[in-house]
Amino acid sequence: MLSQSLSEAVSRLRRSDGRTVEWVTAPGYVDYEDAVAEMEARVAAIVRGEAPERVWLLEHPPLYTAGVSSRDADLLDPGRFPVHRTGRGGQFTYHGPGQRVAYVMLDLDARGRDVRAFVRGLEQWIIAALAEFGVRAEVRDGRVGVWVERKGPGWSREDKIAAIGVKVRRWTSFHGVSLNVEPNLDHFGGIVPCGIAAHGVTSLLDLGVPATMDDADAALRASFETIFGPTSLERS
């Protein structure tokens, strides 16, 4: 539940000038270092006022990324997949096929200059998208990302379905979110995801929702527009 002040800040994440955000989907798998280079170039252009904002949807080949708060002890299987040290916030995460990564490059100078509200907006974006599939997701104090409560006869637990890790430079955001649509969940076993060992990970498929990546993209776009404003489809 957002406080009134934070709720008001999140409501200001829409641009007052009505400019659209480019919505781009990359075909195939995108190399991680190439993606970072592309983000760096786009952020620099946004800062200079030479390019519009962009949400870039893609999939990576299997890999681990280490955020600025990562601990070496949380890398349980260093030789399993390539490990990329990155400047985003957060700890270790996995990216791979079946996971929708959305890199979010927005001009926060035009969206309220409130990084905390921006992160809350990202959380609400994912929660609203998951609601389109009948999945109730939530955030938890002290735990980054989006979580699903699961119950059965005599047991209950909370699993992570989406990760969030962002960086802001000169009031322009990059990196973003990752939503587990149908990845191989065993691949998360090489790390302690986001430094949290007491909880697991899940996906739409694992929850019994046979959504395609196109289904997930449509839900993500619709919920993004309710929080951040209009988008325009662009070629990758």
Q: 229 vs 16, 17, 175, 216, 232, CA distance in Å?
A: 9, 10, 19, 18, 10
Query: What is the identity of the amino acid at 104?
Result: V
Q: Which two tokens stand for residue 165?
A: 């890790």
Mutual angle of helices 213-228 and 115-131, in 10-degree steps: 140
Residue tagged active-site, from 83, 166, 168, 194: 194
* Burial (Cβ within 10 Å: 0-12, 13-18, ≥19) of residue 76: middle
Mutual angle of helices 115-131 and 4-11, in 10-degree steps: 80
**Which residues are CB-neighbours of 194 under 8 A, at least 6 positions away?**
90, 91, 92, 93, 143, 144, 145, 160, 163
**DSSP 8-state assignment for residue 124:** H
21-29 and 92-95 strand pairing: unpaired
**Distance between first and last Cα of the chain:** 36
Distance CA 116, CA 97 (A): 30
State yes or no: is 183 an active-site residue: no
Cite the active site residues. 194
